[in-house]
Amino acid sequence: MGKPADELLPEQLTIPNLAAAAEDCEACDLHARATQTVFGEGGAPSTVMLVGEQPGDREDVEGRPFVGPAGRFLDSALEAAGIDRKRVYVTNIVKHFKWVARGKRRIHQSPNQTEVLACRPWLQAEILVVKPKVIVALGATAAKAHWAGAGSLKCRAWEPRWWPLCTRPPFCARRIGKPGRPPSSPT
Ligand code: SF4
């Protein structure tokens, strides 16, 4: 295991500096089986930040977030909403692809709490640079990383409002109230 991620943060916080520093991150085991670090990209600063769980198979190969099937779905959703993807910032809770082999396929596995916590300094630094007013948590892991098991994700210098977009409504209903509706006072 390498240095903790917070010891790798660059002095000057910019997205290119952070992305370059994260290339060498070995703060948890996920780097070992992934092709490369997949850092966030998009507008910085930006009003909206979209946070998914982790890069998928395609993202791992291309080194960019949301370029696989989930990315195509996201693109069409943004287009339908009249939002230019370049004007939002997209990233993931963890920056390396976690997978298990099934035949010739690499099947995604959700990161565990240790991995989510290890990667948190990168996400916190992204929030500080992007300064979003709203963070949309795409799916259960992203919502959980903020509201549940991994503890509340706070940035002292910037406190955006978190908004869950559930892909598994029963899970979110148990954790954070009605599907698609954030708690009245997100922390
Ligand atoms: S998942 Fe995050 S903490 Fe773990 S090695 Fe990758 S960048 Fe570092």
Q: Is the CB of 22 within 6 Å of ligand 1?
A: yes
Among 119, 124, 126, residue to substitute to test ligand 1 (most atoms within 8 Å of Cβ): 119
Angle between the 15-22 and 113-130 helix axes, to the nearest 10 degrees?
A: 160
Query: What gap in Å lies between CA 129 and CA 20, rounded to an integer?
Result: 15
Nearest Cα residue to atom 7 of ligand 1: 95
Among 1, 23, 96, 126, residue to substitute to test ligand 1 (most atoms within 8 Å of Cβ): 96
Tell how far CA 154 is from the center of its chain.
14
Q: What is the pTM of this model?
A: 0.83
pLDDT block averages, 10 residues each, the chain of length 187: 94 97 97 97 93 94 93 88 91 96 93 92 93 86 65 55 55 38 37
Query: Considering all CA atoms of the chain, what is the largest pairwise distance in Å, rounded to the nearest integer?
Result: 46
Tell how far CA 22 is from the center of its chain.
14
Q: Is the CB of 25 within 6 Å of ligand 1?
A: yes
Ordered by where they begin, the domains of the chain are: 5-176 (3.40.470.10)
